[in-house]
């Protein structure tokens, strides 16, 4: 097992040695996924390398302030015609998380896997995985330091965004002294912390409030009061004018109820599939729980896609949660 230092050096070598990279992150990208994609792009541009950034879907509109966010190709709206021999995956715990972007990986592509999920299964030719990093952006902070590049406000804002969102506004238990030391440096570079907190964590779209309202009317609790869950259907999404990004934060409501150990949001995808978002108050390792269904994540925040109807998914997940409690 190589050390983190060795992985950083190996990653540095990989980036310097090759050219023409495809930079991808996970489906339904969050703040860390988008920021990490852009941070890698920023570094490659400093190194004079060619690169293309892509995601299976759109970038959440509240992240449009990020440097070059408009350059990330959205495969649902734009075509990417060729394949790439060098691929950098950021914030993706397993290969399937890249979604349809994998159609653009050459069959013998060399993959660099940069991630912070404890459930990362170690895919790729080169791995830079730090399970105790608060965000993939934290790993990129370290990686960027190994290059003698001049930091600017764009990269500082991107890294700060990943740290801010994956720590829930510097509140979760991944908010380490190291995170705060990095934050201190980023603020000194001119990052506008309060404005980013407002844009990313406080501000809500009307659709988001409407879909939250719907979801809360579906709240159910276990008889013991230790599991709480809500659901959202495609019809709710349609009637509220909500996009996927508008579901951000809903799962915290069931999780935050006093006495609840596991909070769940079930998002019905279609008649045969449901996405479950799981949050733990600390007792249950929801990453391990999500892995039972082929998903993954972190001990306190994880997700999985479950085959079946809403009723079937709820029954299966609740049974598994009870086993873990
Ligand atoms: P969310 O519930 O907000 O979608 O995701 C919470 C955490 O679980 C994130 O770290 C996310 O990357 C991870 N996660 C969500 N869904 C999946 C999934 O289907 N597979 C894996 N491996 N991780 C997931
Ligand atoms: Mn992350």
- Tell which of 108, 128, 148 closes a domain: 148
The tens place of each residue's pLDDT in the chain, 325 residues long, gives 799 999 999 999 999 999 999 999 999 999 999 999 999 999 999 999 999 999 999 999 999 999 999 999 999 999 999 999 999 999 999 999 999 999 999 999 999 999 999 999 999 999 999 999 999 999 999 999 999 899 999 999 999 999 999 999 999 999 999 999 999 999 999 999 999 999 999 999 999 999 999 999 999 999 999 999 999 999 999 999 999 999 999 999 999 999 999 999 999 999 999 999 999 999 999 999 999 999 999 999 999 999 999 999 999 999 999 999 9
Residue 289 lies in a domain: yes
- We report the CATH number of the domain holding residue 76 as 3.90.1640.10
On whether both 224 and 309 belong to a single domain, the answer is yes
Residue 192 lies in a domain: no
On whether both 133 and 224 belong to a single domain, the answer is no
- CB of 124 shorter than 6 A to ligand 1: no
Q: What is the dihedral of CA 27, 30, 35, 37, to 10 degrees?
A: -10
On whether both 253 and 133 belong to a single domain, the answer is no
State in Å: Cα 239 to ligand 2 middle.
30
- CB of 29 shorter than 6 A to ligand 1: no
pLDDT on residue 265:
98
Residue 120 lies in a domain: yes
On whether both 45 and 134 belong to a single domain, the answer is yes
Q: Let me know: does 69 contact 34? Beta carbons within 8 Å.
A: yes
Residue 265 lies in a domain: yes
- Tell which of 103, 122, 148 closes a domain: 148
Mutate to test the pocket of ligand 1, among 301, 305, 306 (most ligand atoms within 8 A of CB): 301
State in Å: Cα 302 to ligand 1 middle.
5
Counted domains in the chain: 2
Provide the total of helices (H) and of strands (E) in the chain, helices listed first. 11, 12
Beta pairing class for 227-232 and 73-74? unpaired
d(CA 242, CA 8): 40
On whether both 133 and 228 belong to a single domain, the answer is no
pLDDT on residue 1:
79
The pTM is what?
Answer: 0.96
d(CA 272, CA 270): 5
Residue with tokens 């999920």: 117
On whether both 121 and 220 belong to a single domain, the answer is no
On whether both 142 and 239 belong to a single domain, the answer is no
145: how many CB neighbours lie within 10 A of its CB? 13
Q: Which H or E run contains 297?
A: strand 296-297
Tell me which residue range forms the domain holding 310.
Answer: 206-324
- Tell which of 148, 181, 196 closes a domain: 148
- CB of 298 shorter than 6 A to ligand 1: yes
On whether both 33 and 107 belong to a single domain, the answer is yes
In the 8-state DSSP scheme, what is residue 64?
T
Q: Whose CA is nearest to atom 11 of ligand 1?
A: 297
State how far the alpha carbon of 85 is from the alpha carbons of 43, 80, 81, 98, in Å: 19, 14, 14, 16
């Amino acid at each position: 097992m190589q050390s983190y230092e060795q992985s950083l050096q190996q990653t540095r070598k990989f980036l310097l040695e090759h050219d023409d990279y495809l930079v991808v992150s996970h489906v339904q990208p969050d703040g860390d996924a988008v920021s990490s994609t852009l941070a890698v792009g920023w570094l490659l541009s400093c190194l004079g390398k060619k690169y293309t950034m892509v995601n299976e879907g759109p970038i959440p509109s509240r992240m449009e302030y990020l440097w070059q966010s408009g350059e990330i190709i959205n495969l649902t709206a734009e075509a990417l015609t060729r394949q790439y021999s060098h691929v950098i995956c950021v914030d993706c715990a397993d290969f399937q998380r890249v979604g349809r972007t994998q159609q653009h990986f050459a069959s013998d592509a060399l993959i660099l896997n940069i991630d912070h999920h404890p459930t990362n299964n170690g895919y790729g030719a080169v791995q830079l995985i730090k399970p105790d990093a608060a965000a993939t952006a934290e790993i990129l902070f370290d990686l960027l330091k190994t290059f003698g590049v001049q930091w600017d406000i764009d990269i500082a804002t991107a890294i700060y965004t990943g740290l801010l969102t994956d720590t829930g506004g510097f509140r979760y238990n991944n908010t380490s002294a190291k995170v705060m030391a990095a934050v201190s440096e980023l603020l000194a570079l001119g990052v506008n912390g309060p404005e980013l907190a407002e844009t990313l964590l406080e501000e809500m779209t009307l659709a988001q409030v409407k879909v939250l309202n719907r979801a809360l009317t579906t709240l159910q609790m276990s008889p013991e009061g230790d599991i709480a869950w809500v659901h959202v259907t495609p019809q709710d999404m349609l009637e509220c004018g909500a996009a996927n990004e508008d579901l951000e934060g809903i799962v915290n409501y069931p999780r935050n109820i006093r006495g609840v150990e596991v909070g769940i949001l079930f998002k019905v995808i279609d008649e045969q599939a449901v996405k479950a978002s799981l949050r733990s108050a600390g007792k249950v390792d929801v990453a391990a729980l999500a892995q039972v269904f082929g998903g993954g994540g972190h001990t306190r925040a994880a997700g999985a896609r479950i085959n079946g109807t809403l009723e079937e998914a709820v029954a299966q997940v609740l049974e598994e949660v009870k086993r873990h409690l």
